[in-house]
Amino acid sequence: MEAVETRPKLMEVETFKQKINEKGWVIFPELLDGAFVDELAKDLEKATAACREIQIQNGVVNRTQGTSHHILAFEGSFMRFTEDLPLKDHIRTYFDDGPFILNSFGGTINLASAPSYVANVHRDIRTWSGDMHLMLNMLVMLDDFTADNGATWFMGGSHKFAQKPTDEEFYAVAEQSIGKRGSIVLFNSNTWHAAGQNRTGQDRRGLTPMFTKPFFKPQFDFTRFFGYDRMDSFSDEVRQLLGYYSRVPASYEEWYQVPEKRWYRPNQG
> Which domains does the chain carry?
13-220 (2.60.120.620)
For residue 189, give Cα distances in angstroms to 32, 61, 96, 99.
Answer: 23, 25, 15, 17
The reported pLDDT for the residue numbered 93 is 97
Q: Residue 182: name the closest of 199, 207, 200 by CA.
A: 207
Cβ atoms of 52 and 65 within 8 Å: the answer is yes
The reported pLDDT for the residue numbered 116 is 72
Q: Residue 70: name the closest of 250, 245, 265, 243 by CA.
A: 243
Alpha-carbon distance of 112 to 109, in angstroms, equals 10
Q: Is the pLDDT of residue 2 over 60?
A: no
The reported pLDDT for the residue numbered 8 is 76
Cβ atoms of 138 and 210 within 8 Å: the answer is yes
Q: Residue 238 CB: number of other CB atoms within 10 A?
A: 19
Q: How many Å separate Cα 263 from the centre of its chain?
A: 25
Mean local confidence (pLDDT), 43-47: 97
The pTM of the full predicted model, rounded to 2 decimals, is 0.94
What lies within 8 Å, CB to CB, of 225 at 6+ separation is: 73
Per-residue model confidence as pLDDT tens digits over 137-190: 999 999 999 999 999 999 999 999 999 999 999 999 999 999 999 999 999 999
Burial group, residue 268, by CB count within 10 angstroms (0-12, 13-18, 19+): middle
Cβ atoms of 149 and 200 within 8 Å: the answer is yes
